[in-house]
Amino acid sequence: DNEANIISGALQLTNKSVEDVMTKIEDVFMLDVNTVLDFEKMTEIMHQGYTRIPVYDGEKTNIISLLNTKDLALIDPDDKTPLSTVCKFYDHRPLFVDYDLRLDAMLQTFLQGNSHMAIVQKLHNTDDQDPYFETLGVITLEDVIEEILQSEIVDE
């Protein structure tokens, strides 16, 4: 039954990693830090419907900030505010986690507050080149809760 499923889902958290349940980087709606917040852009952002949007500089794998769509509430599209100004003002530092992090540990981190989204990275460290991080995707508290409930949460 339902309760047994939830308990089983909770017990399975230690067997799964953030990589298993994340949203892959190619499916993530992100914004370039050089974006200008004019009417068209703000309409597009609102239509996407996401609460949190990673902000990148240069390449999509170089995520430097998070935009909360509520940060846009006081922005006048006629001002054509640069996204970088909003990012500097609110300064939401993204939380970065290793792709191998278990979901029970991810849940603990999310429950401690601060952020309900994390950027999933993989460290490449070989002898023949400098170590670098590969950005694989994003994970939110909702992704972890869906694993516990073992069912999709239908968005509002």
Residue span binding ligand ADP (CB under 6 A) among the ranges 8-16, 24-32, 70-78, 128-136: 24-32
Q: Which candidate, 19, 46, 47, 10, places its Cα nearest to that of 150?
A: 10
Q: What x/- string results for residues 36 through 55 when contact with ligand ADP is judged by CB under 6 A? A: --------------xxxx--
Is 133 one of the binding residues for ligand ADP (CB under 6 A)? no
* DSSP string covering 26-94: GG---EETT-EE-HHHHHHHHHH--SEEEEESSSTT-EEEEEEGGGGTT--GGG-EEHHHHHHHH-BPP
Half-sphere exposure of 83 (CA within 13 A, CB side): 24
Is 28 one of the binding residues for ligand ADP (CB under 6 A)? yes
Is 143 one of the binding residues for ligand ADP (CB under 6 A)? yes
Residues 72-131 that bind ligand ADP (CB under 6 A): none
**Closest CB to ligand ADP among residues 30, 105:** 30
Write the CB contacts of 124 (distance below 8 Å, at least 6 apart in sequence). 131, 132, 133, 134
**Closest CB to ligand ADP among residues 18, 81:** 18
DSSP category for residue 25 = G
Output the smallest distance, CB 78 to ligand ADP, in A: 26
Among 101, 102, 142, 149, binds ligand ADP (CB under 6 A): 142
**Closest CB to ligand ADP among residues 81, 119:** 119
What are the residues binding ligand ADP (CB under 6 A)? 23, 27-29, 50-53, 138-140, 142-143, 155
